[in-house]
Chains A and B, each alone.
Chain A
Amino acid sequence: MTVELLLQTLLSGVLFGLVYALVAIGLTLIFGVMDIVNFAHGEFLMFGMYAAFWGFAFWGLDPIVTLPLTTLLLFAVGVAVYRLVIRRITDAPMLSQIFATFGLMIFFRGLAQYLWKPDFRSVDHTIVAGKVAFAGLQFGLPQVVAAAGAVATTAAVWAFLRFTRLGAALEATAADKEAAALMGIDAQKMFALAWGIGAACAGVAGALLATYYPVFPEVGSTFILVAFVLVALGGFGSVVGAFWAGILVGIVEVMGGFLWDPAYKMVLVLSLYLVVVWFRPQGLMGKA
């Protein structure tokens, strides 16, 4: 019984951590390329969840079926936010940048509350409903699918950065904006791409989360704090770092809460963060 409980808790932590990671990957990508902290990233997640929810509510389409559409939609939202707002503050003082994305966060939350009311809504049946049970352990199928989706998305983003010309151009812009521009890379395009991909990751996370988590205008706030920890813990701008940090934080949060007192689970997560940045200020996989 105890071993089962421990194993169950551990794996639940991993499943959670993977979804955290997916939210953080978009955030870290945008930061890595532009050095701008996107406080409105949780709201991208919220929009992704609402897109999945409305697809279900209006047309009875499953969030998993509409996932590609949600991803494209959020990509467009990311690019639009870049073109309309972020482009104007690229070289502004850091404080202006913080206010801009912070303002966006408040605006998006307010907009969602105005348009869709503050109610909790959820997708009440989905094709991934059910359970996965083995060796006395059981997990919700939606959680398992979400975790698998998170792994696949991370792998795709990683491969894109690693193996495509466009990805290499993006990385080059992240490494040195001026040098990349001299090589003929259009920084504006790269920035827009980073925002598009970053928001699209949140869109994927939103669609997957919507299969088991209620949607409401403030839903982003519950996930974003952890995402910020992951970005710093994994190393600013490191997609792979955010991925491993997600798993680590998921385990620490869930196991810590189980073995010790749940009241202190976030204390454990933030202590882990402090310890890591104490010894490695650049984060687990960040470049010094």
Chain B
Amino acid sequence: MTSPFRTFAALAALALSLGASAQEEIRIGVLYPLTGAAASTGIELKNAAQLAADLINGTDKSLGLPLAGAGGLPGLKGAKIKLVFADHQGNPQVGATEAERLIAEHKVAALQGAYFSTVTTTASQVAERNGVPFLNADSSSPALTQRGFKWFFRTTPHDELFVQNAFEFLRDLKAKKGFAQPKRIAIFAENTEFGTGAAKLQEKYAKENGFEVVEKVLYPPKGTQLTSEVQKLKASRPDLVMQSSYLGDAILSMKTYKDLGFLPTALLANDAGFNDSEFLKTMGKDGNFVISREVWALDLGAKKPVIARANALLQARHGVNFNGNSARAFTGVFALADAINRAGSTRPEAIQKALQQTNIPGADLIMPWGGIQFDATGQNTKGAGIIVQVQDGKYVTVWPFDLASKDVIWPMPAWDKR
């Protein structure tokens, strides 16, 4: 590189950085799958994140969360939050290049995303390399917080906790409700990071809890049919199927179950596709009785009014309810805003430090959590899971029993008796 060019580059960089500091907005890069098979989930996440940012930038304090209605971040003289959305198409490579672009071109103060654990993996590597805080609100692969990253923070609990919850739920069913304990478990999961990770944990905890894993089927996502997979499950005659699928596969598998007349005692789903609003819309009656781990449910609003208030705002704007995914994306923006506000600066180091000191009480969240506080790996230690079941086309909380709004229906009624 010639020296005049170097001088020019330095001047250009200076000009850019001056330009950035002169603006009264804090740019946060947000990575979600806005096109591709998971686009409908991605758009829900985007809408929820945007609602959170607009609430912080606006002056309506009626929601009752700190920062909501603050008219921008008080710690930065009322600077507004601007979310810069990028589409990673569910593709890890695209996720990495988009993260790179957001950092280089848009000079974002922090990144949030990316729903798919695989994409979060690559995008957060870019953030780590560039020293930019990455807040993950919605990926549940445990490996993400086992990489020793310094710039990675995850607000959602991860799959290990969810899997433990599932077995606690089974134990409680027997201990507190006197249901017969299922013995034979089949594990059914898509074969990317999310599914394989969850399947591994389910296998481990099933064995530790004295269950028999009779079949473990990992399938390639985005296929045209799941007939061979379902036939394999059927042949193993399980009492219980533990399933991890994204939306398209969740729908396809349910239809295949019905067509081939496969019916376990219960289907314990691992969130994701099963908790997408589209899943219930598409499946109609056939989606009933699916049990899923969740982090959020609308009926929690009865016990925590802020949930109902936030949901009313989303309803008014987009005509849909929050779900576990969108509620976490919403919460992610608030967690980032809280940290940037306390940092009082958009310098990455300051935000990183503020994130490490985050301590948001559970009352200030629309989640049924104890709060947000990160450990040394960047994992929120105060997250908690719930278990929901589809009843009459809606997800209702059935566990923990003290939060439950309905009794669990167990076993699933036959396909032709609904």
Contact = CB atoms under 8 A, between A and B. Distances in A.
A87 B190 CA distance: 43
B224 A222 contact: yes
A143 B259 contact: yes
Nearest to A260: B228
A257 interface: yes
Given A118-B40, A131-B259, A216-B37, A262 B278 contact: no
A214 B37 contact: no
Q: Which of B43, B225, B247 has most A Cβ within 10 Å?
A: B225
A254 B228 CA distance: 5
Contact of A118 (B39, B224, B225, B226): B39
A258 B220 contact: no
B36 interface: yes
Nearest to A267: B220
B232 interface: yes
A55 interface: no
Interface stretch (A5-13, A57-65, A167-175): A5-13
B248 interface: yes
Interface stretch (A119-127, A154-162, A195-203): A119-127
Interface string B24-49: 00000000000111011011000000
B40 A222 contact: no
B227 interface: yes
B191 interface: yes
A223 B43 contact: no
B222 interface: yes
Contacts of A16: 224-225, 227
B225 A254 contact: yes
B231 A222 contact: no
A113 interface: yes
Given A13-B227, A119-B278, A214-B248, A263 B219 contact: yes
Interface string A105-137: 000011001000111111010000001000000
B218 interface: yes
A140 B225 CA distance: 13
Contacts of A120: 40, 247-248, 251, 278, 281-282
A198 to B, nearest CB: 20
A218 B217 CA distance: 25
A5 B251 contact: no
A263 B188 CA distance: 12
A145 interface: no
A32 B248 CA distance: 33
A253 interface: yes
B225 A262 contact: no
A102 interface: no
B282 A253 contact: no
5 contacts: A8-B260, A12-B225, A216-B248, A258-B227, A265-B228
Interface of B: 35-37, 39-40, 42-43, 191, 217-220, 222-229, 231-232, 234-235, 247-248, 251-252, 255, 258-261, 278, 281-282, 284
Interface of A: 1-2, 5, 8-9, 12-13, 16, 20, 109-110, 113, 117-122, 124, 131, 138-140, 143, 212-214, 216-218, 221-223, 226, 253-258, 261-263, 265-266
Query: Shortest 3 CB-CB distances between A and B: which pairs?
Result: A257-B228, A118-B39, A258-B228
